Amino acid sequence: MIYLDNAATTLHKPSQTVRAIAEALNTFGNSSRGTHSVSLSAAFSVYEARVKIAEFFNCPKPEYAAFTLNATHALNIAINGLLKEGDHVISTDWEHNSVLRPLYRLEAERQVSLSFLKADSKGRTDFLSIPEYITPKTRAVICTHASNVTGNMADLEMIGEIARRHGLLFIVDASQSAGFADIDMQKMNIDVLCYTGHKGLMGPQGTGGICLREPLDIRPFYCGGTGVQSHNQRQPEQLPTLLEAGTLNSHGLAGLSASLDFIKEIGLENIRAKEKQLAELFLKQVKDCESVTIYGDFESAQRAPLISLNIGDLPSGTAADILALQYDIAVRPGIHCAPRIHEALGTAERGAVRFSFSYLNTEAEVMQAAQAVKEIAEA
Amino acid sequence: MSEDINYYILFDNYTHGLALYKLLQLDSIPARISPTPHILQEKVSCGMSLLIMPEDIEAVRACIAEHGAAYHDIAALPCQIKTDRFRFC
Ligand SMILES: Cc1ncc(COP(=O)(O)O)c(C=O)c1O
């Protein structure tokens, strides 16, 4: 199979990641629960993963990097934990439902008001207009780093500077950019960074996290066992314990830790260069195909390595089905959990077919996928 | 008698505790990762502490100062384990 659905999850993981998880499965006790040797094996492994993640995103301290099960989990902690009754939030049409649904729920339940920066038919958004939306109640700017539909990317440093200047929290969803783009929480003024481990970071599913720039007044989304202060009726206040009730996925985190080593060994810039090259190769092959419509802004300097398109008047699901059945190529059709951007692109009804590339794909795979698109378009 | 007193370095989290443990190892200062005694748990949210020998306390403080290592407190407690019957350090 040719797997080009890496924006959903990377299928191929580094072999050292697979080995680390297998090794952990029979050697880890429960991290942060007691101090016998196998509990400490897990605790040391989680500690190392935490140190690596903090370094990777330039999070000021490892303990400000709490682990979660995925980005959705992290975003729910951030959005529910930080926004209070009556707050106003500025977000964008690019967002995934993991941002939108928690926001809509707070709109209904806590009278949180929402403004969305509009995207145009190429999915472009004017982030410089953020100040026009600010009201005395505005508390936060929440945005994704890279759209999972168009691949368009936001200039986090510029947005972070606007947020800082206006005293707003800056919350970033790095699901599509972690493992591809440089992310520096301190340089970019990111207060809260949410990421998932199973996409560009090439770790296992069930890993992700929330990184804070400083200990914020954040109400934990859930509480429970921490292994300490068991008589205390409240969740311990110190990070990361505050945000990590329940047993951690230390087996998965051992894998994520190994994936971070892999990224370091290869070099993020080399990973980015290869993924960009694969996406550009694909684009070059299909862009002149008469009945292929491609979505996104291809003039901006940085893009995530994915391309969404439609072929003729085929519904996106049908096109993906043909690709799967006829060509054994895995892609993702539909709305991609991002309804607002599809509204902007004019694809709310039929969706789009998304091809997304990983460092572990090859040029030959990309050429075969492009050939398949051309054949379907000409049929 | 110094043998009867245990020194526990307490932490707000495992991250600080394991970081200092590694630093002490590098400086060849003996330390054992031990459960935080229950009576000390009220103020900290970390279930591990570092148990150190009384004669190493100054070296530990020097190591902490040198590296700016984070910790919550150093607590002295009467020995929790009967050393004549059980292995301790
Ligand atoms: C932009 C964006 N945000 C959030 C998510 C949610 O990631 P997860 O399902 O790992 O929580 C995704 C994944 O599809 C995404 O593309």
The pLDDT tens digits of the residues spanning B8-65 come to: 999 988 899 999 999 999 999 999 999 888 888 777 768 899 999 999 999 999 999 9
Token pair of A1 as six digits: 């199979």
Determine the average pLDDT of the residues in A12-32: 96
What residues form DSSP beta bridges with A208?
A68, A196
pLDDT digits over A95-111, tens only?
A: 999 999 999 999 999 99
**pLDDT higher than threshold 90 for residue A206:** yes
Does the beta carbon of B13 lie under 8 angstroms from any beta carbon of chain A? yes
Determine the residue of chain B that is closest to A239 in CA distance. B13
Q: Report in angstroms the alpha-carbon separations of A252 from A111, A205, A248, A258.
A: 37, 7, 9, 10
Which helix (H) or strand (E) segment holds residue B9: the answer is strand B5-10
Q: Dump pLDDT digits (tens) for A59-93.
A: 999 999 999 999 999 999 999 999 999 999 999 99
Whether B80 has a pLDDT exceeding 90, the answer reads no
Quote the ligand 1 centre to A75 CA distance (angstroms): 10
Average pLDDT over residues A322-348: 97
Ligand 1 within 6 A of A68 CB?
Answer: no
Q: Which of A71, A66, A79 is nearest to A31 (CA)?
A: A66
Judge if ipTM > 0.90. Answer: no
A227 vs A280, which has greater pLDDT? Answer: A280
DSSP state of B20: H
Q: Is B50 helix (H, G, I), strand (E, B) or coil?
A: strand
Where residue A259 falls (left for φ over 0; alpha for ψ -120 to 50; beta otherwise) is: alpha
Best residue among A10, A147, A193, A196 to mutate for probing ligand 1's pocket (most ligand atoms within 8 Å of CB) is A196
Sorted by where each begins, the domain ranges of chain B are 5-78
Of B13, B19, B35, the CB nearest to A35: B35
CATH no. for B5-78: 3.30.70.980
User: Which tokens sit at A20?
Assistant: 């680390």
Lowest mean pLDDT among A110-119, A226-235, B29-38: A226-235
pLDDT of residue B2: 44
Q: A50: which chain B residues are within 8 Å (Cβ-Cβ)? A: 15
- Interface test with chain B among A241, A242, A248, A250, by most B beta carbons within 10 Å: A241
- Specify which residues A81 forms β-bridges with: none
Quickly state the pLDDT bin for B1 (edges 50, 70, 90).
very low
pLDDT value for B78: 82
Residue B85 has pLDDT above 90, yes or no: no
What pTM was estimated for this model as a whole?
Answer: 0.94
Q: Is B19 on the interface with A (CB under 8 A)?
A: yes
- A239 contacts B13? CB cut-off 8 A: yes
What spatial distance separates the first Cα and last Cα of chain B, rounded to whole Å? 17
Residue A35 pLDDT level (bands cut at 50, 70, 90): confident
pLDDT for residue B87 is more than 80: no
* Chain B contact present for A43, CB below 8 A: yes
* H/E stretch holding B65: helix B57-67
SS (H, E, C) chain A: CEECECCCCCCCCCHHHHHHHHHHHCCCCCCCCCCCHHHHHHHHHHHHHHHHHHHHHCCCCHHHEEEECCHHHHHHHHHHHHCCCCCEEEEECCCCHHHHHHHHHHHHHCCCEEEEECECCCCCECHHHHHHHCCCCEEEEEEECECCCCCEECCHHHHHHHHHHCCCEEEEECCCCECCECCCCCCCCCCEEEEECCCCCCCCCCCEEEEECCCCCCCCCCCCCCCCCCCCCCCCCCCCHHHCCCCCCHHHHHHHHHHHHHHHHHCHHHHHHHHHHHHHHHHHHHCCCCCEEEECCCCCCCECCEEEEEECCCCHHHHHHHHHHHHCEECECCCCCCHHHHHHHCCCCCCCEEEECCCCCCHHHHHHHHHHHHHHHHC
Buried b (16+ CB within 10 A) or exposed e, A286-301: beebeebebbbbeeee
Please, which residues bridge with residue A211 across strands? Answer: A65, A193
Is it the case that residue A308 has pLDDT exceeding 70? yes
Mean pLDDT of chain A: 96
pLDDT at B84: 60
Nearest to A331 by CA among A318, A319, A320: A320
What share of chain B has pLDDT > 70, as a percent? 84
Computed on alpha carbons and rounded to an integer, the radius of gyration of chain B in Å comes to 12
**CA-based diameter of chain A, in Å?**
69
| Interchain pair A46, B14: CB under 8 A | yes
Closest alpha carbon to A138 in A165, A109, A119, A176: A165
pLDDT at A177: 98
Residues 62-91 of chain A whose Cβ lies under 8 A from any Cβ of chain B: 62-63
Contacts of residue A61 in chain B, CB cutoff 8 Å? 15
Euclidean distance between the first and the last CA atom of chain A, given in angstroms as a whole number: 22
Burial status of residue A118 (CB atoms within 10 A of its CB: 0-12, 13-18, 19 or more): middle
d(CA A143, CA A207): 21
CB contacts < 8 Å between A and B, how many? 61
